[in-house]
Amino acid sequence: MSSLPLKFAFLFSLSLAGAASFTTTAAAPFRFSRKPRTKSSYSLSPSTRPKATVSDLLSLLGPPQQAESVNSQVARDLWSCFKFLVPYYQTPTTRRSLSYKTSLPSRRSEKEIDELILSPPAPVLELARLAVDSGADPGAIHRALDPTIIPVPDVEGSNEDRCELTRTPYGRQFIDEGLNSYLEFLFEMIVERGPSVGLNVSLSRYDFFHGHLFLAKESGRLGILFHAKEYPAYDKEIFPCNMGYCQVGSNLAYDNSMNLRNILWLAPLPSNSTKAWLAPGVLVVLDASPEGIIYQDLIPEYVNIARTLYEGFDFHTCGAVVKRNDLTITAPLLIADASKLSPTL
């Protein structure tokens, strides 16, 4: 999370933007610079195919009607960048219809974990439907937050380093404890299953501690864009970027795993006219390798060294989910985007 503008629309915690600013040492060589396209990269160059958008990405992970609206070549290139952490299904099936489970089981098999992503517990489904029924209004999500103010804890010596991991010194949690528990579950699952696709992350103030909650503008679909590898260690040869106080003390290596730092969770998508569900939940790592379409079309050039996918213009920004990684297992803080909060919150 940097001080660069957050353009997605997330809602859980306050946008966990650190007070970091990107300043690059121009004279230092960068090992992972943009690579020339090859035949293995795209079958069509950007000049002969439409430029991919965040809307295309979301549509491709939506129900068939939405997916079919994406240009076929763009769809193929985007699909090659998806690394799913649970099996992907385009539509709910009768065998695995969305059920209103009320809680997370304490002991979970691999299949049960998959089901909790594809068909989350009732509080998550209710919030997902609220997001769509409200017309993608961030205020509807903010009103689900407990008004109690919770101070942001000193995480791994951040106060001593003058590091501000959030834009405000406080946050909130959801009124429904089931939602808070599910957020914690998502963090845990990403850490646990990331290695299966090459993403090794740890809950740390330098690595994985936040995500941005959003509502898709067109569909109202609820989602979170998680960011890992947040503060890699400064290295004049490999990562010549000064990210401020929050980078101080980092030993997080900048390597090819940075390509996998964007992780997308999508809640199941409800119909806006019936009680039906159009698409199950999704949890996928977005590969931003330089030869891929996500890097080429969706990563802003000014942050391509960090491989940061921002929330873009296809989302309503709500805030960010901050994992309270103060070495205890506690529910994430929800820090709402102050510019979107109503005066009553």
* Domain residue ranges in the chain: 51-336
Over residues 306-333, the mean pLDDT reads 62
Least confident of 12-16, 43-47, 298-302: 12-16
List pLDDT tens digits, range 244-271: 999 999 999 999 999 999 999 999 999 9
pTM of the model: 0.82
Over residues 156-168, the mean pLDDT reads 83
List pLDDT tens digits, range 92-151: 854 445 655 655 666 788 999 999 999 999 999 999 999 999 999 988 888 999 999 888
User: What percent of the chain shows pLDDT beyond 90?
Assistant: 57
List pLDDT tens digits, range 72-97: 999 999 999 999 999 999 888 544 45
Over residues 265-283, the mean pLDDT reads 96
Query: What is the full DSSP assignment across 282-305?
Result: EEEEE---TTSHIIIIIS-GGGTT
Measured over the CA atoms of residue 22, residue 52, residue 86 and residue 213, the dihedral's sign is positive
Q: Which of 190, 234, 232, 242 is nearest to 211 (CA)?
A: 190
* Per-residue confidence band for 315, with pLDDT thresholds at 50, 70 and 90: low
CB 178 within 8 A of CB 103: yes
Using CB atoms within 10 A of its CB, is residue 286 exposed (0-12), middle (13-18) or buried (19+)? buried
